[in-house]
């Protein structure tokens, strides 16, 4: 029995987004003050929807049918205005980009405090302190949209923290963070908990958060199905982790419950699919360009899955955009199957699935997204059905893409990228919103695509994924690339561990 005062209580709370299937079904849940609770479970299980009840986005932003009763710090939420939620709860969304209101980092962090009428001097003091703790003091005058995904996540955390809320609700806060930033986030959350703040966190990667967690709540199909202490979660067998579709709760070389995937056919000895020589990569316009990487030498071979990792802001996404032709290289060359091509000629032949999957979703249905612009392709309907079935999206084929969960959107964007049948497929953090079961589904699909002759490059900080999926490891360090092959598993794992620790 928990003797701490109650921060929130839900009594038979349900919610349905208009005509969609109810993502929450008669939830009974109590959150105590000063407690840290982790929400986990399959993509689309209702975690994000539950989070939205605590920050007022339901019912003030997302329309639908809300039933049951909820109290937040002793008050019924039924009569609370949206601004009253913002005084209590600080939010970090799954897609941090969607919660920004200002162009400049400093203005974005100060925005919440200004809205609540805080004194300017207090805002400046808190802002400088938060920027120092998060390591973004040198980026306060930067444009938010020029930051990496991990850097945006830090800005979102600072903006949510500045007003000093009693409750923090975080939706997959570590999804786009490198190892160093993830540990930094865990330390900050531990400090908040020590100060008596209440934490509710939806997350798939649990290993860095277990030391501060009091409970892990497992959701499936809109209901709470299980609850564990950290010790109980760590004691689950490999079969039990697989049954629940969970990722490993440990960060180790051979994760418990990790499914070892068969090696893809080696690309060694086959013609190179993509070759970058002496490539210079920059971010920004002609007069404000920031050099990110110099003298890049990179080879991608058919049949191989290559992982590209390194610190947030090191230039990984910028390199991906350059390879795919979305950004022109500053110097050097990129060749496909031996033919040197300028940026505009690489478009389409090098497919790119962005970190922000919503940026690539345009149709009004899941199936329509895959068939968009492919009306004259007789093979498209069958390929679309196969991809949707393999990625667990077939039952959602008539749903609007923007009504999907974060993990479901990621899988749909991946399927759309595969539909283009590119020579090279570049994926930017494709597993950040995926549970364990769906992560391995994606790995199996990518193995199949690679075996068909596609070269695949995956930008990732996901240690578990890199171990299970990649044939070669490329590490960004000191504005250049360092490549490790996988002929010897011991040396490869040693390099992988070093890359994760350094990043």
Domain match, 212 and 313 both: no
How many percent of the chain have pLDDT more than 90? 68
pTM, entire model = 0.86
The last residue of a domain, from among 202, 225, 244: 244
Model confidence at 261: pLDDT above 50: no
Domain match, 236 and 320 both: no
Domain match, 232 and 367 both: no
Range 212-224 burial, b when 16+ CB lie within 10 A, else e: bbbbbbbbbebbb
- Provide the number of structural domains found in the chain: 2
Model confidence at 264: pLDDT above 70: no
Mean pLDDT in residue range 95-107: 89
257 band by pLDDT with thresholds 50, 70 and 90: very low
60, 62, 123, 64: which is closest to 86 by C-alpha? 60
Mean pLDDT in residue range 419-437: 92
Domain match, 294 and 435 both: yes
| Residue pLDDT, tens place only, 355-367 | 888 888 999 999 9
Domain match, 203 and 348 both: no
Report the C-alpha gap between 436 and 247 in whole angstroms.
Answer: 4
In a domain, 254, yes or no: no
Domain match, 171 and 283 both: no
Model confidence at 321: pLDDT above 90: yes
In a domain, 207, yes or no: yes
Model confidence at 267: pLDDT above 70: no
Model confidence at 289: pLDDT above 70: no
| Residue pLDDT, tens place only, 187-240 | 989 999 999 999 999 999 999 999 999 999 999 999 999 999 999 999 999 999
In a domain, 262, yes or no: no
Assigned token pair, 3:
């003797």
Model confidence at 500: pLDDT above 80: no
In a domain, 183, yes or no: yes
Residue 20 burial (CB count, 10 A): 12
Beta strands 24-32 and 198-202 are unpaired
In a domain, 1, yes or no: no
Model confidence at 497: pLDDT above 60: yes
Model confidence at 98: pLDDT above 50: yes
Under DSSP, is residue 222 helix (H, G, I), strand (E, B) or coil? coil
In a domain, 189, yes or no: yes
Residue 182 burial (CB count, 10 A): 25
Give the CATH number, domain containing residue 360: 3.40.50.300
Domain match, 384 and 236 both: no
Model confidence at 6: pLDDT above 80: yes
Model confidence at 252: pLDDT above 70: no
**E strands present in 46-205:** 65-72, 75-76, 89-92, 167-171, 198-202
Domain that holds residue 346: 274-502
In a domain, 466, yes or no: yes
């Amino acid at each position: 029995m928990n003797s701490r005062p109650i921060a929130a209580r839900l009594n038979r709370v349900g919610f349905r987004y208009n005509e969609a299937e109810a993502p929450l079904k008669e939830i009974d849940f109590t959150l105590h003050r000063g407690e840290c609770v982790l929400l986990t479970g399959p993509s689309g299980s209702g975690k994000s929807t539950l989070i939205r009840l605590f920050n007022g986005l339901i019912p003030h932003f997302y329309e639908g049918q809300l039933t049951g009763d909820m109290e937040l710090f002793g008050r019924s939420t039924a009569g609370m205005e949206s601004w009253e939620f913002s005084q209590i709860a600080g939010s970090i969304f799954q897609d941090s980009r969607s919660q920004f209101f200002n162009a400049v980092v400093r203005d974005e962090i100060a925005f919440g405090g200004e809205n609540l009428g805080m004194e300017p001097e207090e805002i400046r003091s808190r802002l400088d302190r938060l920027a120092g703790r998060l390591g973004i003091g040198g980026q306060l005058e930067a444009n938010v949209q020029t930051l990496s995904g991990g850097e945006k996540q830090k800005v979102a955390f600072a903006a949510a923290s500045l007003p000093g809320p009693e409750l923090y609700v975080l939706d997959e806060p570590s999804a786009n963070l490198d190892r160093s930033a993830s540990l930094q986030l865990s330390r900050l959350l531990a400090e908040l908990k020590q100060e008596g703040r209440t934490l509710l966190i939806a997350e798939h990667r649990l290993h860095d958060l277990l030391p501060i967690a009091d409970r892990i709540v497992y959701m499936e199909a809109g209901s709470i199905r299980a609850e564990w202490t950290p010790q109980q979660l760590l004691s689950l067998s490999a079969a039990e982790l697989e049954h629940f579709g969970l990722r490993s709760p440990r960060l180790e070389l051979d994760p418990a419950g990790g499914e070892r995937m068969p090696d893809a056919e080696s690309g060694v000895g086959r013609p190179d699919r993509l070759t970058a020589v002496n490539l210079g990569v920059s971010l920004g316009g002609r007069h404000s360009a920031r050099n990110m990487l110099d003298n890049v030498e990179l080879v991608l071979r058919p049949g191989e899955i290559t992982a590209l990792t390194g610190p947030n802001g090191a230039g990984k996404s910028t390199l991906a955009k350059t390879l795919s032709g979305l950004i022109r290289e500053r110097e050097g060359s990129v060749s496909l199957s031996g033919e040197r091509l300028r940026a505009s000629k690489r478009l389409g032949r090098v497919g790119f699935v962005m970190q922000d999957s919503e940026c690539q979703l345009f149709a009004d249905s899941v199936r329509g997204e895959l068939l968009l612009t492919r009306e004259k392709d007789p093979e498209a309907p069958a390929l679309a059905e196969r991809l949707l079935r393999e990625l667990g999206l077939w039952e959602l084929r008539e749903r609007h893409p923007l009504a999907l969960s974060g993990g479901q959107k990621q899988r749909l964007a991946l399927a759309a990228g595969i539909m283009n049948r590119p020579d090279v497929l570049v994926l930017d953090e494709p597993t950040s919103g995926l549970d364990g079961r769906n992560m391995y589904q994606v790995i199996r699909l990518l193995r199949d695509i690679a075996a068909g002759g596609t070269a695949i490059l995956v930008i990732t900080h996901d240690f578990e994924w890199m171990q299970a999926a990649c044939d070669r490891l490329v590490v960004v360090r000191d504005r250049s690339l360092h490549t490790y092959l996988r002929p010897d598993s011991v040396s490869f794992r040693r390099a992988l561990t070093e890359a994760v620790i350094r990043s």
